[in-house]
Structure 1
Amino acid sequence: MSDDETTTGAPTRRDYVKYGAAVATGGLFAGCAASGTESPASSTEPTGTESPTAADTDTATDGSYSVELFPVGEVEFESVPESVVTYNMGWADMVVSLGQADKLRTNRLVAPTMFYDRFDVEWDIDYPPLWQDGGIPKEVLYELDPDVFMIDPNLFKAWDDDWDDDDVDEIESNVAPFFGCYNRRIRGEWQQELGYPERAPSMLESFEAVGEVLDEPARARAWLDLHDGLQSEVRSRLPADADTPSIALINGGSAPGEGEFYVLNLEDNGYEMKPYRDLGLVDADAFGGVETGQYGATDYETMLEVDPDLILVHWGITTGSVTFDGDGAFDAEAFREQYVAPMENDDVGSQLAAVQAGRVLPGPTAEQGPLVNAFQTELTARLFYPDEFGAVDLEAPFDVPEGERLFDRDRVQSILDGDVV
């Protein structure tokens, strides 16, 4: 909060976790705990009351400090965390981007060979998974025993019926505070009820907050500068709207061999769609306004009616990779076998313009912090506009000729190394 605001009588971190956006001046509306994977964590309607979105740090004289973030509110730290547990891999990438990979206690990092090995980033993934046997046992949180859980506690309550506010209180009292927001994808009923579309921080706002928590303001500023430079470079070179191909973004869970497609909307909130928004591609969504089934389900016939210029597979860049414990390398042959060949061999699919033009391509992964996003913004620009930004080599999609690179790899290495002068 700004210097002229006061914390007297302000909602506590516990209030935000329990009631999310339904914190009103003078009191709280009644709510209920989540009862299912898509049930709201509170039945209250969001109010117009402002709640924190990005980081705001207050440092006490004893060395403790606090940082604010929606939906957890103000979180106090007695000292800089030395160990961090994440669930969403985008939040893990935020920690890695700050040169703090050694602090992570998670078995989930995204496609390391593609992004991290080129910078000699080292980490340990020999930790138990949070999700076990259809739920999130509290015992694993005790076992991990970090200084902070960079996880949205509302996510646990929404996905696991055994979790409620008392469980969140227990973990925060006995292990560590929660500091996170499930802002990769914002379309669950519980998120709508708790005001996430209006209040959830962006990826960059979340990253700034993580930088405050980990006491890495210089590295965070350096990443923001690199991000701004990349965005400016891309925007200055984007072709006219008339040259933008129409796109069908299908989820990686689609099964072309069985005639099953699950379409995603580019206009959806959340950082998973950031590369498309940043390149101004939302209006190019071929399925905008097209009726589909549950989870965007559609078929070959509807695909042919829409007939997009480009079919992009969401998460496609991870095809064939062993994301959690392997080398994470993209497998072009596996991608072709899983997605392209079935379309070519289908009577209807083979008529699609994108198939005939060889424009069924692997799209970015949904999980991204600053480092992964830089590579994926560059990748997306090259996928859509090869004449301007250079064609993607599907055998090595992130190996870009030096003269075609949209951001400085040496600068990334310097930031990771702490050389941010």
Structure 2
Amino acid sequence: MADDSSGHEAPTRRDYMKYGGAVIGGGLLAGCAGQSESSATPNQTSTETATATATDTETETSPEEGPYTVEMFPVGEVEFESVPESVTTYSMAWADMVISLGQADKLQTDRLSGPTLFYDRFDIDYDRNWPPLWQDGGMPKEVFYEHDPDAFLIDPNLIQAWDNNWDDSDIEEIESNVAPFFGCMNRRFRNGWQKEMGYSEKAPSMLEAFDKVGTVLDERDRVDAWFDLHESLQTEVQSRLPDDGDTPSIGLINSGSSPEKGEFYVLYLEDDGYEMKPYRDLGLVDDDAFAGFETGQYGKTDYETLLEADPDVIVVHWGITTGTVTWGGDGAFDAQKFREKFVTPMEEHEVGSQLTAVQNGRVIPGPTAEQGPLINAFQTELTARLFYPEEFGEIDFESPLDVPEEDQLFDRQRVRDIINGNI
């Protein structure tokens, strides 16, 4: 996250946007090909601890003081006249931040990403009857007026990268006529425009971004409660991780892969950004079977490369939330459809059937990429059970998030209490 400790004036949004559309436009969708949720659209420590307090508090003012400012890369210092009563976002991770703060009623989005899997457990719902931001291969400016929120939790650089009809003047127009942008594309940093602008060094982690959103929404008590829950969960997991180093080699493929066609999109556990947070936190980065392997654009590869790497386990990224969402379902994981799409084609393929993971029945659904505090808590627990079942318990792959109470690594009632404000 940006940290100006030199005493110089905090950078503004214009400072962070200095590269403009000409630089970032070439990064359109890089690294996102094949994701079943987003294919239609476009160096941290091993354990991210719950110490993500604001590093630029000297540049911020309190919502209780009337107009207030919050600073974050890449948007710089953003002023809010009052606490937003409505927010629009495209990222389900940033939506999860809002939901985790008990503010689901403020959320304006059309996105559907596993709400049955996560949110129905707490009777959480939000209005998805909003026009999609992504339409006909772009993000029409008119739809931003139509949403008309008090804040856009969206990275303005991402809009310009995905839609070359946008430039800095369009961003400024929306900020002047509708609402400020306050977001960061911090899921991964593969795109050329992100590298040009130093995202891997400057972008906030998931918890740092959550801290900032909590400041914007004036929810300090809930933020602190989530930090406590996150730290408690991490402490519990870390204290029980086996120290023998005997973990399986992991081959992570995107859920947009097509085993039937022999097309796979490889992902790397070492990648920065919040999507790999569960793997980092459980010390699994060194178990990446694909580390060092050359792949094509967006990590595209084939059965022969998979066989050369021959991972002990093949994990389908986004697997638990793409069971039926993109196939016309309600968001709940569907084990039969997962098997039909990913497992059976591998078993029936001449080369695929030779894979160790296939022969041992270890082609499994993995965590979703999009996660704020609530989803991450479930996914930390899920990942621990995926790779250390002897210690954390076996998973029922018919319902991967259903965990016997004695094996639960965090208190579900505590989550409910935080969301409901019973802190």
Structure 2 counterpart SS, 1:243 = coil
1:317 and 1:120 map into 2 onto residues whose CA distance is 19
**Which deviations, in whole Å up to 9, do the C-alpha atoms of 1:196-243 show, x marking residues without a partner?**
011000000000000000000000010011011111111111113531
Q: TM-score, normalised by structure 1?
A: 0.90
Instruction: Assess if the C-alpha contact under 8 Å between 1:53 and 1:201 holds in 2.
Output: no
The structural deviation recorded for 1:262 is 1.1
1:386 aligns with 2:413: no
Q: 1:55 to 1:416 in 2, by over 3 A?
A: farther
1:358 aligns with 2:361: yes
The structural deviation recorded for 1:349 is 1.2
The structural deviation recorded for 1:265 is 0.5
Structure 1 counterpart SS, 2:394 = coil
Instruction: Assess if the C-alpha contact under 8 Å between 1:92 and 1:109 holds in 2.
Output: no
Structure 1 counterpart SS, 2:149 = coil
1:130 aligns with 2:137: no
Q: Give the structure 2 partner of residue 311 of structure 1.
A: 314
Amino acid corresponding to residue 150 of structure 1 in structure 2: L
Q: Give the structure 1 partner of residue 48 of structure 2.
A: none
1:121 aligns with 2:124: yes
> 1:14-53 maps to which residues of 2 (within 5 A)?
14-19=14-19, 32=22, 34-38=24-28
Q: Give the structure 2 partner of residue 24 of structure 1.
A: none
1:367 aligns with 2:370: yes
The structural deviation recorded for 1:326 is 5.3
Structure 2 counterpart SS, 1:350 = helix
Q: Point out the more displaced range, 318-327 or 97-106.
A: 318-327
Structure 2 counterpart SS, 1:236 = helix
**Which deviations, in whole Å up to 9, do the C-alpha atoms of 1:120-152 show, x marking residues without a partner?**
112110000000111111100001000000000
Q: 1:230 to 1:149 in 2, by over 3 A?
A: same
Amino acid corresponding to residue 12 of structure 1 in structure 2: T
Q: 1:142 to 1:414 in 2, by over 3 A?
A: same
**Which deviations, in whole Å up to 9, do the C-alpha atoms of 1:72-96 show, x marking residues without a partner?**
0111111100000011110000000
Structure 1 counterpart SS, 2:294 = coil
Structure 2 counterpart SS, 1:338 = helix
Structure 2 portions without partners, runs of 5+? 31-52
Identity percentage over the alignment? 68
Q: Give the structure 1 partner of residue 77 of structure 2.
A: 74
Q: 1:143 to 1:324 in 2, by over 3 A?
A: farther
Amino acid corresponding to residue 293 of structure 1 in structure 2: G
2:65 and 2:374 map into 1 onto residues whose CA distance is 34
Structure 2 counterpart SS, 1:94 = helix
Q: Give the structure 1 partner of residue 332 of structure 2.
A: 329
> 1:192-341 maps to which residues of 2 (within 5 A)?
192-322=195-325, 327-341=330-344
Q: 1:54 to 1:367 in 2, by over 3 A?
A: farther
1:177 corresponds to which of 180, 187, 207: 180
1:342 aligns with 2:336: no
Structure 1 portions without partners, runs of 5+? 21-30, 41-51
1:418 aligns with 2:412: no
Structure 2 counterpart SS, 1:313 = strand
CA RMSD for the aligned pairs? 2.3
Structure 1 counterpart SS, 2:252 = strand
1:416 and 1:18 map into 2 onto residues whose CA distance is 38
2:326 and 2:102 map into 1 onto residues whose CA distance is 21
Q: Point out the more displaced range, 341-350 or 170-179.
A: 341-350
1:124 and 1:324 map into 2 onto residues whose CA distance is 21
1:136 and 1:162 map into 2 onto residues whose CA distance is 9
1:350 and 1:4 map into 2 onto residues whose CA distance is 56
The structural deviation recorded for 1:3 is 12
Amino acid corresponding to residue 246 of structure 2 in structure 1: D
2:388 and 2:177 map into 1 onto residues whose CA distance is 52
1:120 and 1:60 map into 2 onto residues whose CA distance is 29
1:61 and 1:140 map into 2 onto residues whose CA distance is 31
1:396 aligns with 2:399: yes
1:162 corresponds to which of 149, 157, 165: 165
2:311 and 2:374 map into 1 onto residues whose CA distance is 30
Instruction: Assess if the C-alpha contact under 8 Å between 1:53 and 1:200 holds in 2.
Output: no
2:394 and 2:84 map into 1 onto residues whose CA distance is 42
